[in-house]
A and B are shown apart, each in its own frame.
Chain A
Amino acid sequence: MNDYQLIILADDKQVVLERILQVTRYRGFLINGINAKVNTGTHIGTIELMVSSDRPIELLVDQINKLIDIKEVKVDSKTQQSTA
């Protein structure tokens, strides 16, 4: 298993968090932690998502990027490590 931290910028729309969590689970990633906050000035939400999986993280990044309300998905390379 590899650990990753994703930093996701999203429009502050209803259910955006639910959508991200659903895709993450469905695509085979375990959710280890989450921080989410909304900048009320810009209406942009920032979601930090800690996940682990045997699957390449690019598969999840591409799928989250397809969600309509997502503006950006980055992998924090500092957090990438194996827990196997």
Chain B
Amino acid sequence: MVIEKKQTGGSLLFDVLQQHGVQHVFGYPGGAIMPIYDALYDSDVEHFLCRHEQGAAFSAVGYARASGKVGVCLATSGPGATNLITGLADAMADSIPIIAITGQVATAAMGSDAFQEVDIFGLSLACTKHSFQVTNVNELENVLHQAFAIALEGRQGPVLVDIPKDIQLATVNAVLNDAVNLQNKVKLPPANVGKAIALLSQAKQPVLYVGGGVGMANAVDELREFVKATALPSVSTLKGLGALDPDNENYLGMLGMHGTKAANLAVQESDLLIAVGARFDDRVTGKLNEFAPNAKIIHFDIDTAEINKRRAVDSAILGDLKVNLPALSVPLSIKPWQDKCRQMKHDFGWQYDHPNETIFAPAVLKEISEKMPKNSCVTTDVGQHQMWAAQHMSFQDPSNFLTSGGMGTMGFGLPAAIGAQISRPNDCIVTVSGDGSIMMNIQELATIKRFQLPVKIVLIDNSKLGMVRQWQDLFFSGRLSETDLSDNPDFVMLANAFDIKAKQITLKNEVSAAIEEMLDHNGPYLLQVKINAEDNVWPLVPPETANDKMMEST
């Protein structure tokens, strides 16, 4: 359908966003984006004012990851635009489809070091899938259509569109074409699964290694059917959590630096590794040339550039997982191996007995996971609490566990939870944070207050930058450099200042009632869980070490 309409560039932006189904955007106004905010005034698109542009970017990421839709954020030129950069880099590392719209100084002023001018187009090159700068208002509509197509096509990712102020104000006779589809630039050859089937049929000790690509490809059902048909022992990356059924008897948990002992040992002993939407990240492999040393590799991916990037493969299956995974579904005769993996899972299971009265964070997170409503969504920040959440909470879908995987960005959790809550207003959204991370985007408590978002904040508080402290203890002779946070603010008082109900617990016998009170509360809630500052995350594979040489305690 074609509609002709005379309007400004700013107004056209919102029409095209709506054409692509965008109902919600996150942003912060400023001088060079004022015409867009003026057009917003008349638009049906709902805007959520964040309190920092980084918060807007992470809310867009959380929105996208929780809903499967494109997340959109807006910022002004200069510092507004540069404040988006960390969120864009995070979205790039985790392949998240967001679109960032930045205001720019007027075209006549560009390149003159004008007030609040920065070359965000140039800065975007290393942290976006693609970027545009619109210098002719007649190109704006097509650029926006392309931005959506690029963000969603193939391996998803962030796209930035920089729009100078005069382009936002210019009148355009918009056509409002149907959204364009990108031509599939890199033609993928039809997947040849013959070799992969032969490898799988011959394998005696195969392991399925599942990454974030499964959720991105919307192929959770196909993966689970594949697992049902093959009964393969399986492991997950951090970003893959939720793709595999956590209750499956052959599921061994997360692999890698803080993976389970069973998962890491199974992978190290495997003779065939079937990587599905995973990229042999250094936090997964440990010392690369000792990773799964006897395994042949089958690699399913959508991105040609991931094949042979860090580990040479024996069979590459490129393309859509929804199509390709079922083609490899063959029954296997690997009972002795399955039995061994199950035995390891049993022998090396988590232990929750903890000797004293202080609170044991893994047990708290496990209890929250068991008590929170079905289809709750958990976001995390980065550090010890993140690894404990990954180890001890269970998820039935990747869209229910949002964590900064590739970039490891502290400050992610709170704004990501805001985005998730807005995209899924009827679901319980829990953010697990640490006393270091939460301070990185603490201003977003104001966004929670303004929109009365019922986000549940679980603050695991050891008054330390815990993960760095753990590494300083283990690998830097206990020289604790700049990791003490014992002068943190009173978090209960801080939450109350934003009209958020809050409670601090310090003893094990307070945990259950506090979790129930938090989950039953009809509104935002902050639960500050004080833990022992010396608690460590185990197991731990030390840097540049093979995954079977993990440390289990000191």
Contact = CB atoms under 8 A, between A and B. Distances in A.
A18 B305 contact: no
Interface stretch (A45-53, A58-66, A75-83): A58-66
Nearest to B186: A65
Interface of B: 121-122, 125-126, 129-130, 133, 150, 185-186, 303-305, 307-309
A84 interface: no
Nearest to A70: B185
Interface of A: 14-15, 18-19, 22, 26, 56, 58-59, 62-63, 65-68, 70-71
B125 A68 contact: no
Contacts of B308: 56, 58-59
A22 B133 contact: no
A53 to B, nearest CB: 14
A59 B413 CA distance: 33
Given A15-B121, A62-B304, A68-B150, A22 B185 contact: no
Contacts of B121: 15
A25 B129 CA distance: 17
B133 A14 contact: yes
A70 B185 CA distance: 9
A82 to B, nearest CB: 20
Given A59-B305, A62-B305, 20 more contacts: A14-B133, A15-B121, A15-B122, A15-B125, A22-B125, A26-B126, A56-B308, A58-B308, A62-B307, A62-B309, A63-B305, A65-B186, A65-B304, A65-B305, A66-B303, A66-B304, A67-B130, A68-B129, A68-B150, A68-B185
A66 B305 contact: yes
Contacts of A67: 130
Contacts of A19: 125
12 contacts: A15-B122, A15-B125, A22-B126, A59-B305, A59-B308, A59-B309, A62-B307, A65-B186, A66-B303, A68-B129, A70-B185, A71-B185
A18 B125 contact: yes
Contacts of A14: 133
A80 B306 CA distance: 23
B542 to A, nearest CB: 25
Contacts of B305: 59, 62-63, 65-66
B163 to A, nearest CB: 15
A66 B186 contact: yes
